[in-house]
Chains A and B, each alone.
Chain A
Amino acid sequence: MSARVAVQEADFDLAAEFARLEALGGGGVASFTGVVRGGEGLTALRLEAYPGMTGRALDAIAAQAITRWSLLGCTLIHRHGTLSVGERIVLVGTAARHRAAALEACAFLIDWAKTKAPLWKQEIFADGSSRWVEPRAEDDAAAAEWDASAEHGKP
């Protein structure tokens, strides 16, 4: 198993990240990329991290995914700083022997990264105003589903 976790300002190289996962010998690699979505005058997101703790929290989430789905490896890279519309925010990647584990673990990783790591988003608008993003109940519900399915003996 091999986890690659990073909290960084810089963008990441998708080809290089996928190549690392593909080289782990499994039959399936899945990924999710989160991108800054425009609309309603939004020009950028500012992402605030907790130096030290954000990486540790993501490490713990990655370790849990590797154990639960017997992954060959996973990647969890989260950016911070000011990101314009269309820029990448987060990359989740998984490598497993078979596709089901890769796809499920990928969904788990992004659901938990959204709700169980210390990161905060602020929306920046064209008129210069800004607004802190409020947590969404559906995100918490999606994250909680993974606890519920674990209790019922699913992977």
Chain B
Amino acid sequence: MVQLLYFAWVRERIGRDGEAVDVPAGVVDVAGLVDWLAARGGGYAEAFAEPARLRAAVDQTFAPLDAPIAGASEIALFPPVTGG
């Protein structure tokens, strides 16, 4: 099981702030995870319609979309940051 977290408009479109999932064996990187989630349709498809606008963190470290997810315990998906 891996804990997924969603922030900002990703969270709003999906309608929840996170969930624990069993990632299928063929899903090896963040982009694959995003595709797998988007295939659920509805808010997931809406949240992940533009992968170029998505950012990610694997175990609380920023990671590119091609980052491997094997062994990760927490993966966060969110828009580009806008703090400060």
**Contacts from A to B (Cβ < 8 Å):** 34, 47-48, 50, 52-53, 56-57, 78, 89-90, 110, 113-122, 132-135, 139
Taking a contact as CB atoms under 8 Å apart, the answer to whether A132 and B81 are in contact is: no
**Which candidate, B3-11, B24-32, B34-42, is the interface stretch facing chain A?**
B3-11
Chain B residues, CB < 8 A from A89: 84
Q: Is the CB of B83 within 8 A of A121?
A: yes
Q: Quick check: B84 and A50 within 8 Å, CB to CB?
A: no
Assess whether B76 is interfacial by the CB under 8 Å rule. yes
Query: What is the count of residue pairs linking A and B with beta-carbon distances less than 8 angstroms?
Result: 67
**Provided the pairs A50-B57, A132-B8 are in contact, do residues A115 and B79 lie with their beta carbons within 8 angstroms?**
no
B73 at the interface (CB under 8 A from A): no
Cβ < 8 Å to A, chain B residues 10-63: 57, 60, 62
- On whether the beta carbons of B78 and A121 are closer than 8 Å, the reply is no
Chain A contacts for B76, CB-based, 8 A: 50, 53, 118
Question: Do residues B81 and A118 form an inter-chain contact, with CB atoms below 8 A?
Answer: yes
Question: Which residues of chain A come closer than 8 Å to B64, judged between CB atoms?
Answer: none
Instruction: Please determine whether A118 and B7 come into contact, CB atoms closer than 8 angstroms.
Output: yes
**A53: B residues at CB distance < 8 A:** 57, 60, 76
Residue numbers in B under 8 Å from A134 (CB-CB)? 80, 82
> Which residues of chain A are near B7, meaning CB under 8 Å?
48, 50, 118, 120
B62 CB, min distance to chain A CBs, angstroms? 8
A135 to B76: give the CA distance in the assembly, Å. Answer: 18
A113 touching B84 by the CB < 8 A rule? yes
Which residues does chain A contribute within 8 Å of B79, judged by CB atoms?
A: 120, 132, 135
A contact residues around B80 at 8 Å (CB): 134-135
A132 to B53, CA, bound (A): 13
> Which residues of chain A come closer than 8 Å to B83, judged between CB atoms?
47, 78, 90, 113-114, 117-121
Q: How far is B84's CA from A135's CA once the two chains are assembled, in angstroms?
A: 11
| Chain A nearest Cβ from B42, distance in angstroms | 20
